[in-house]
Amino acid sequence: MSTKRACEVLERRKEFLMPCLNYFYTKPPLFVRANMQYLYDDTGKRYLDFFAGVSVMNCGHCNPAIIDRVAAQMKTLQHLTNIYITEPVVKLAQRLAAVLPGDLHNSFFCMSGSEANEGAMLLARIATGKRKFIARKSGLHGRTELTMAATGIPMWRADPFLQDDFYFADTKEEIEAILEKDGDIAAFISETIQGNAGIQTPEPDYFCNISPLLKKKGVLFIDDEVQTGFARTGTMFAIEQYGVTPDIMTMSKALGNGIPIAAFSTTREIADRFTKPSASTLGGNPVSCAAALAVLDYIQEHDLCRQAERLGKELQCRLLALKEKHDCIAFVRGKGLMIGAELVKPGTGSPWSEGTDFILEALKDRGIILGKNGVYRNVLAFQPPLVINHDDIDYLITNLDEVLTQQASLPAGF
């Protein structure tokens, strides 16, 4: 049940925000505070958060180890922009260079995942002198001009006048055919694991098979780690598990643990070709950089990569056991604590978005917040803060099992 206050806020939201902004649940709670893996609504009810604001709060909500350092920076120096010399941004770039895979070394800081991908694509065009891109059929890269054009999922392509400098391809054969016929490709852009497409997780050799084709034609690989980055998948970046190093990597979300920050990073050689003036007014401001430095410290001090790997294995095992019991779970996939369970209508095998919504709502009523994604909006997304524990997984699985049993007895059509 939503409270009177929650209903009032929802009405005002509908009146004053844009109608394009969707929300989950028919009876949404009004969240008023949070602490690590828990959210609280206006009645004081506690919810176990298994979505982390879409893979953002990897280090937990309102984590004192991070917010105390952000607050200290806010009281010291907040903003100047990049025409002045400040230290936090330099410290962060240096620190990132140490954790980025391969020889990725130079970074440009901005404020959102869309802006990081837009910048990465601009860099690819400038560095190669070529214009076009290959993107994935079910990728999602943002809401700006280039990034929306690079987004394959139909529901996120809102602009009716998107430019057509893009090919969409998934397989090695499709990519090879495009590279053979068109010499004007600047870059191939792909998420490592496609989050919005329903945690679509490539085969272990996927990027290894494509990388030599790109290298042969001088086409850059832009790896979008906006959703997979910062320990989420059991390594600092998911691409480390695929045996290749991208030419450009983009990141955002968990880098700031709730404080807006994003970046694209590349090799010194590619960075050296980006000499035309560029800037981001708020990009690399001391407060965002203090947050990111605290995040990197927290991930390393608490070994969140190992924690995500260990708990991810446990969660995946438990979900696979539920798959054996409940026909509606068709697939369980993912890495670390980025796991999807794809739901189909029992007996038909067709995507089951109504069932997904039913489960989300029922779990919310039981105090658990899950995510939802997939091209057909039928994938339950498990992307909690990485600070959860065994008992949280147990609580989730017990409740999910009960809700799945309950929905199986509902009338057909659900």
Ligand X SMILES: Cc1ncc(COP(=O)(O)O)c(C=O)c1O
Residues lying near ligand X in the complex (CB under 6 A): 54, 112-114, 117, 140-142, 191, 195-196, 224, 226-227, 252
Residue with Cβ nearer ligand X (17 or 71): 17
- Provide the minimum distance between the beta carbon of 253 and ligand X in the complex, in angstroms, as a whole number: 7
**Type of residue found at 162:** L
Residues 235, 189, 281, CA angle at the centre, nearest 5°?
Answer: 85
Residue 315: partners with Cβ closer than 8 Å, 6 or more residues away: 337, 339, 382, 393, 396, 397
Q: How far is the CB of 104 from ligand X (least distance, A)?
A: 17
Place of tokens 């994003």: 262
**Which of 203, 207, 194, 214 has the alpha carbon at shortest distance from 152?**
194
Distance CA 9, CA 108 (A): 38
Nearer to ligand X, 232 or 318 (CB): 232
Burial class (CB in 10 A: 0-12, 13-18, 19+), 365: middle
* Closer by beta carbon to ligand X, 340 or else 355: 340
CB of 360 to ligand X, least distance (A): 18
Residue 177 CB, nearest distance to ligand X (Å)? Answer: 26
**Residue 235 token pair:** 């390594």
Look up residue 403 and give its two tokens: 């809700």
**Which CB, 155 or 320, lies closer to ligand X?**
155
User: Residue 101 or 195: which CB sits closer to ligand X?
Assistant: 195
At 185, the amino acid letter reads I
Nearest distance, CB of residue 239 and ligand X, angstroms: 13
CB of 252 or CB of 378, closer to ligand X: 252
Q: Could you tell me if 230 and 251 are in contact, meaning their C-beta atoms sit under 8 angstroms apart?
A: yes
In this chain, which residue has its C-beta nearest to ligand X? 113
Give the angle subtended at the CA of 121 by the CAs of 51 and 173, to the nearest 5°: 85
Closest distance of CB 85 from ligand X, Å: 27
